[in-house]
Amino acid sequence: MATEGPAMRRVQVAEHPRLLKLKEMFNSKFGSIPKFYVRAPGRVNIIGEHIDYCGYSVLPMAVEQDMLIAVEPVKTQTLQLANTNPLYPDFSTSANNIQIDKTKPLWHNYFLCGFKGIQEHFGLSNLTGMNCLVDGNIPPSSGLSSSSALVCCAGLVTLTVLGMNLSKVELAEICAKSERYIGTEGGGMDQSISFLAEEGTAKLIEFSPLRATDVKLPSGAVFVIANSCVEMNKAATSHFNIRVMECRLAAKLLAKYRGLQWDKVLRLEEVQAKLGVSLEEMLGITEDALHPEPYSPEEVCKCLGISLQELQTQILSPKTQDVLVFKPYQRAKHVYSEAARVLRFKKICEEAPDNTVQLLGELMNQSHASCRDLCECSCPELDQLVDICRKSGAQGSRLTGAGWGGCTVSLVPADKLTNFLANVHEAYYQRSDRNVTLEKQSLFATKPGGGALVFLEAQIM
């Protein structure tokens, strides 16, 4: 239940090779044994891209890949962080003086986001320190939410060390808010599915208030994730935050056009709710109110009746103040059409007609086209990979995650899976000029995994 906190399980560490290895590495690093372990999964968003921050529902599932942290509370007030991956250097800081540098999205800053979120939620000072060893097997910057999984894991670690309780929903909301410390203006999908996921089912995640509904996926097909091997870090680039801001501007322009109190409006969903119209009607209003040609900051100011300084200081975020071109028409068209596709996807899963897989595949294909042409968050490699997946037998294929790199998700009939994997591997990954390492876990079928939880080592009698 979402009203309960994450599960706590007693396990025989010796029976879990990854936990055992982490315990041994922790002992060799810190000279002691972890008190407990926390895991938080990554996710694949099946449909509903770039709409959570606009207030609309999304349809992700957790993947089996996760962040795993071994933890030992200590008497000092020092937070010591280490990573099993030698690419990520050790870090230590005072638990009571957390500084998060937005200019450098270093790995430890994501841990600090989760830590600080819990600390500030409870208004705590004088926190105890801890030794933590992090082990992640989610490919980084791949659109499978490795960063948010680390924020969630750190939030649950901190909560457990403090001996406090929060529901999964409260944890998800705190972690979504706290990831903004690193400068990413995300919408909350990634943190929500990391805590609210359940094995065997995808989830429709709705916002304001946050809630999750089971979505039973078709049994005759599997979802396959393929990594384009183009890395994209949301916090290191401005693409993502620019899309958030363009959607905010679109919401304000649409609200002004329809005589609403536009200065209070932040999200496209609010405009629809205030007007009390359908998503299809919002697409019509967008056609009437906005033009396809890009808007300059000066034109936005003219439409809203504000000064350039007011636009920069009151509406734009620090990372978007220098943007010279906005495309509110294209972004609004993407958001309203994508929000409708999510609801249609869920309805088809519920009704389960004979051609379910075909219908869902068509929605995924439409979603990719909208991401590519209206949201403009694809890239040539993703487009090529989507094309290869479709030609290799996928009923539908689309980019997943923020885009500009990362992964695709494809819906593949179960009886075509073996051929599909072989064909995609040959057509995309065996090209001599593509730099692919095994660590990127390039191509794998996945099924809905469970959410974040705490492991305690069972005492052997």
Q: Strand order in 129-136's β-sheet?
A: 7-11, 453-457, 36-47, 59-74, 129-136, 78-83, 91-94
pLDDT of residue 140: 82
Report the CATH number at residue 115.
3.30.230.10
The residue ranges of DSSP E strands in 216-374, in sequence order, are: 221-227
Helix (H, G, I), strand (E, B) or coil at 219: coil
**What is the C-alpha separation between 345 and 65, in angstroms, rounded?**
25
Structural domains in the chain (count): 1
What does the pLDDT read at residue 461?
45
Catalytic residue selected from 90, 101, 190, 322:
190
Domain holding 206, by residue range, is 8-216+449-457
CA distance 461 to 457: 12
Q: Is 190 labeled as catalytic in the residue annotation? A: yes
How far apart are the C-alpha atoms of 325 and 429, rounded to whole Å?
Answer: 36
Position 103 in a domain: yes
Task: Give a yes or no: residue 423 inside a domain.
Answer: no
Does residue 89 lie within any of the structural domains?
Answer: yes
Pull the structure tokens for residue 354. 């004979």
Q: Tens-digit pLDDT profile for the chain (461 aa)?
A: 567 999 999 999 999 999 999 999 999 999 999 999 999 999 999 999 999 999 999 999 999 999 999 999 999 999 999 999 999 999 999 998 899 988 777 999 999 999 999 999 999 988 889 999 999 998 887 889 899 999 999 999 999 999 999 999 999 999 999 998 988 778 899 999 999 999 999 999 999 999 999 999 999 999 999 999 898 766 556 899 999 999 999 999 999 999 999 999 999 999 999 999 999 999 999 999 999 999 999 999 999 999 999 999 999 988 899 999 999 999 999 999 999 999 999 999 999 999 999 999 999 999 999 999 999 999 999 999 999 999 999 999 999 999 999 999 999 999 999 999 999 999 998 874 665 554 455 799 999 999 999 999 886 54
Distance CA 221, CA 396 (A): 11
Between the alpha carbon of residue 436 and those of residues 56, 227, 265, 309, the distances in Å are: 35, 10, 44, 46
In a domain, 195, yes or no: yes
How many C-beta neighbours within 10 Å does residue 173 have?
Answer: 21
282 in a structural domain: no
